[in-house]
């Protein structure tokens, strides 16, 4: 697997972020963690992630608001945004799926699905 992505994990579940962070580090990626939405925007501005995995339900501002803020920053225009949630994604066409995200993963994330996502352009 090609390595070297800068990855931002945004989730208030520290057990989850520690596990996912360890796996991504093992695969050769750089990882930063933010536990809240406001913190995520600040970390993203300095870290400039290639990919951000963002939980939809965060303390403070929502994951969807984090995504909107990252999308509005021209320096982060190429960052791939992936929504993370414990719920199944809405069916396409019903308008409920978060629109500022490039992809959507349900926790717990299957490592093979995660690898495929990291390999995708």
Spatial CB neighbours of 54, under 8 Å, sequence gap ≥ 6? 10, 11, 40, 63, 66, 67, 81, 82, 83, 84, 101
pLDDT digits (tens, 9 = 90+) for 88-108: 655 555 555 557 899 988 888
Greater confidence, 113 or 9? 9
Q: Token pair for residue 103?
A: 């992809």
pLDDT at 67 over 80: yes
Q: Which domains can be identified in the chain, with CATH numbers? A: 6-119 (3.40.50.2300)
pTM: 0.88
């Amino acid at each position: 697997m090609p390595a070297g992505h800068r990855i931002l994990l945004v989730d208030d579940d520290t057990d989850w972020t520690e596990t996912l962070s360890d796996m991504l580090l093992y695969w050769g990626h750089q990882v930063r963690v933010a536990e809240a939405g406001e913190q995520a925007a600040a970390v993203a501005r300095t870290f400039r992630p290639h990919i951000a995995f963002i939980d939809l339900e965060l303390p403070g501002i929502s994951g969807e608001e984090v995504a909107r803020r990252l999308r509005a920053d021209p320096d982060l225009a190429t960052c791939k945004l992936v929504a993370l949630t414990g719920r199944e994604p809405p069916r396409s066409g019903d308008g409920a799926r978060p629109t500022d995200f490039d992809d959507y993963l349900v926790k717990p994330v299957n490592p093979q699905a995660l690898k495929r996502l990291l390999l995708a352009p």
